Amino acid sequence: MPAALAAWGAGGRAPGAYQVLADRPDGTLVRHGDTVAKAHAADSDRQALAARLRIAGATALAGVLLPPLRTGSLHGRPVSLWPYGAPVDPQRPEDAPWEEAGRLLAALHRTPPDGLPGPVPPMRGPAKLARALDRLARAQPLGTEPGALRAVRAAARSLPAWARGEAPPPAGGALCHGDLHLGQLVRHPAPAGAWLLIDVDDLGVGAPAWDLARPAAWYAAGLLDTATWLRFLEAYRSAGGPAAGPPGSDPWPELDLAARALTVQTAALSLAKAARAGRRLDDEERLMADACARIAALLPDLESEPPP
């Protein structure tokens, strides 16, 4: 797939040198010059993905989302071509664009879905949690981590069914990215252009708190320091983001559910990867499993309660 994808990105010509950025069932990425070609998951909802790609190119989201150059199909998979953007440098965590991430999310969440080329599909955050729990179930046995496994399962049961992708989500919501982390930001034009959000495969209407949930979960688990968390949170609030309450207020009444969901998702994926590799959890993975244990202790099975 990478070679064919590089040729497609080059317009059918021999692409010459290219760089494989990722090659997974859920996405293959190949850089060729100043463009990046992506083969999306073979089981993608084609209609929803087409809508998401149209939204990425909408004028209303210029300066927020990186727009695609073109789309198509290759070997039975939907494909898209994008301008290359310089990613966050993992070797310089002190330069991570937390404030920019907060401002971009706020702008995304403030964009009325009704004004976009639609119909706008639902945000896929809960579906990703469901997939993580399924991966965990298929990765057993986990004889070396029985306590962590019990904690993740119990924390998952504390979530309402819609958050686990097992029931329709609450009505309404905002336009959400659906899978926000620092790897979803690039500078365009590279190397020093404005920061933009990329990867719209999970974009759609949903609870905007979901987009703040990963940094919130990291902060609650001890993986993100207080100063960095507050930089991100206050940038989002100051830019008019509708989740997390007004500046100066307690954000957790709005963020708690989504943060718990992302904690469960992260821990489930960590356990599944560790089981398949036949290893124990590393220190960061164990922090997320420990956070699930705290969730399970404080919030026993709440499945029967209505979602907040």
CATH number for position 135: 3.90.1200.10
Same domain membership, residue 142 and residue 70: no
Would the pLDDT of 262 be above 50?
yes
Find out whether 122 and 205 touch, Cβ atoms under 8 Å.
yes
Determine the average pLDDT of the residues in 258-286. 94
Summarize pLDDT for 105-121 with one digit per residue, the tens: 999 999 999 999 879 99
**Residue 192, exposed/middle/buried by CB under 10 A (0-12, 13-18, 19+)?**
exposed
Q: Which residue has the tokens 């920061």?
A: 195
Q: What is the pLDDT of residue 305?
A: 43
Determine the average pLDDT of the residues in 93-101. 92
Would the pLDDT of 146 be above 60?
yes
State how far the Cα of 6 lies from the Cα of 37, in Å rounded to an integer.
Answer: 7
Residue where a domain stops, chosen among 83, 104, 130:
83
Whether residue 56 is contained in a domain is answered as: yes
Strand partners for 73: 78
Domain count, the chain: 2
State how far the Cα of 263 lies from the Cα of 221, in Å rounded to an integer.
Answer: 8
Would the pLDDT of 307 be above 50?
no
Whether residue 303 is contained in a domain is answered as: no
Q: What is the pLDDT of residue 134?
A: 94
Identify the CATH number of the domain in which residue 34 sits: 3.30.200.20
Instruction: Name the strand (E) or helix (H) holding 82.
Output: strand 77-83
Full residue range of the structural domain in which residue 32 is found: 2-83
State how far the Cα of 39 lies from the Cα of 55, in Å rounded to an integer.
Answer: 18
Whether residue 88 is contained in a domain is answered as: no
